[in-house]
Amino acid sequence: MATPQLKPETLFDLMSKHFETDEGKELCKKINLVYQIKLAPEKIGFNEVCYTIDLKNGKVIKGTLEGEKPDATFSFKEKDFIKIALGKMNPQIAFMRGLMKIKGSLSAAQKFTPDIFPKFPVSKL
C-alpha cells in the first residue's frame, strides 16, 4: 500500500474535532444517532476495542456511552473500518461480504455511510 496505515485512534480524534466545526454540527443535526463501533485487530469478535460515535451530541468516546443504548452497533476488523471511513469500501458491500456485523436498528445502520467521516487531505494520511 502506497499510503501509510491510518490508525483508528487518529481517525476518531479527527472526527471529534470535525464535530466542532459548522459542517460537523450540521451533520450531527442531520443524522442524530448514536453508533457503537467495535474494532478487532484480526478477527471480528476477538480483542475488540469499542468506540462510540455520538451524533446527537457531537462526541466520539473510547468505550461505551453511559446510560444510553446505541442506535446501531457495528463490528469490523480495523483495516476494513478504515477502508469504509475513507470511502474506499461501501458499507453495504462490506456487510454482504461478512466484513461488517450489525446489531440494532437497520434504518439507523443505513445512515452509516462514509459521509459521517470528515474528508481527509491525502497529505494528512
Encode pLDDT of 95-123 as tens digits.
999 999 999 999 999 998 888 888 765 44
- According to DSSP, the β-strands at 34-40 and 59-62 are unpaired
The rounded distance, in Å, linking the Cα atoms of 124 and 3 is: 10
Summarize pLDDT for 28-85 with one digit per residue, the tens. Answer: 999 999 999 999 999 998 999 999 999 999 999 999 888 889 999 999 999 999 999 8
Coil, helix or strand at residue 92: helix
Cβ neighbours around 18 below 10 Å, total:
20
* Averaged pLDDT for residues 82-96: 90
Gyration radius from the chain CA atoms: 14
Fold of 8-113: Nonspecific Lipid-transfer Protein; Chain A (3.30.1050)
Cβ neighbours around 66 below 10 Å, total:
7
Whole-structure pTM value: 0.86
Statement: residue 86 has pLDDT above 80: yes
Query: What ranges do the domains of the chain cover?
Result: 8-113
Amino acid identity of 67? G
Cell numbers standing for residue 103: 446489531
* Averaged pLDDT for residues 22-32: 93
